[in-house]
Amino acid sequence: MPTITALANQKGGVGKTATTCNFAAALTDLGRRVLVLDLDAQANSTETLDAVGEYDMYDVLRSEETGVIGDAIVETAWPGVSAVPGSKRLSLFEQESLMTPEHRLKNAMWQASGLEEFDDILIDSPPSLGRLTLNGLIVADRVVILTELEPYSIRGVGEFIETLSAVRRNPQLNPALRLAGIIVNKAKLNTIEHQEGLKELKAAFGTDVVRSPYLRASTVVPTSAGAHKPVSKMRGPVAAAIAEDYARHAKWLVEEVA
């Protein structure tokens, strides 16, 4: 079975989507077959990857049947990357009265045909601690927390880690869930503020948990997303350096479970 990794943080705009898409591309460069699950009503990874399908994640989560996720998997415009698209309708899911709403994704993935074709499943989580994020955390083997080095970021990561503990403590949720690491994004390590932020992050959560390389802040990341391309397909030395950083993290993701 594929390794399922949720990229998450309840804080918005920290780079969950950009990193999910670029990790997907970097993993395919290592010969891995990748499936991206878009659990966000903003559907940003769906748009970046140009994923279009008859069904989307909302249909998957609304279904009472087991194994239905296979019907919603589509190939994207990115070679080797498949996806289950997100859609605006996902915002409805947070409010609807449903039986066991937090187990919907698990149910949909239960003995689903088609999943065995993938080596990695990456979950792009929404910026909240609601039902959609929880559905991802329940099926995930491991979590990668994305964070910036801004003030309040450390508190946000702490709150997210408390949520992970709550998920683990509940036998109905996911006792086997692991925190694989914290990845720093949009780093400007030539500033005192970010140097201090990195020090604090390491002091709070451990030097091993905070993974290097730190992903630097660069306009090439939004530019590549706008062009619906991975950073590795962009020109210039900065793009090449950031693509190399994504590649190093992708290698770690593969080795971490080997």
Ligand X SMILES: Nc1ncnc2c1ncn2[C@@H]1O[C@H](COP(=O)(O)OP(=O)(O)OP(=O)(O)O)[C@@H](O)[C@H]1O
Q: How far is the CB of 14 from ligand X (least distance, A)?
A: 4
User: Pick from Mg ion, ligand X, none: which does 28 bind, CB < 5 to 8 A by kind?
Assistant: none
> Which string of x and - marks every residue 33-72 that binds Mg ion (by CB under 5 A)?
-----------x----------------------------
Which C-beta is closer to ligand X: that of 111 or that of 219?
A: 219
CB of 105 to ligand X, least distance (A): 18
How is residue 27 written in tokens? 């993993």
Q: Which of the listed partners (Mg ion, ligand X, none) does 90 bind, with a CB threshold of 5 to 8 Å by partner kind?
A: none
In contact, 153 and 11? CB cutoff 8 Å: yes
Work out which of 11, 16, 211, 216 binds Mg ion, going by CB under 5 A. 16
Nearest to 221 by CA among 41, 25, 40: 25
Distance, in Å, from the CA atom of 210 to the CA atom of 184, rounded to the nearest integer, reads: 7
Instruction: Provide the minimum distance between the beta carbon of 192 and Mg ion in the complex, in angstroms, as a whole number.
Output: 29
We find the least distance from the C-beta atom of residue 171 to Mg ion, in angstroms, to be 30
Residue 91: its H or E element: helix 90-93
> Cβ(108)–Cβ(21) under 8 Å?
no
Which of Mg ion, ligand X, none does 185 bind, CB closer than 5 to 8 A by kind?
A: ligand X
- Contacted by 18, from ligand X, Mg ion, none: CB < 5 to 8 Å by type: ligand X
Residues that contact Mg ion, how many (by CB under 5 A): 3
Please tell me whether residue 5 binds Mg ion under the rule CB under 5 A.
Answer: no
Order the strands of the 210-211 sheet from edge to edge.
Answer: 74-75, 81-84, 34-38, 120-124, 3-8, 142-147, 178-184, 210-211
Q: How many CB atoms lie within 10 A of CB 45?
A: 30
Residue ranges in contact with ligand X by CB under 6 A: 12-18, 40, 42, 44, 127, 185-186, 215, 217-218, 221-222, 225
Candidates 130, 148, 133, 254; CA nearest to 198 is 148
Window 151-210: residues binding Mg ion (CB under 5 A): none
Of residues 114 and 127, the one with the C-beta less far from ligand X: 127
What Cα–Cα distance (Å) separates residue 91 from each residue in 23, 72, 96?
A: 25, 18, 9
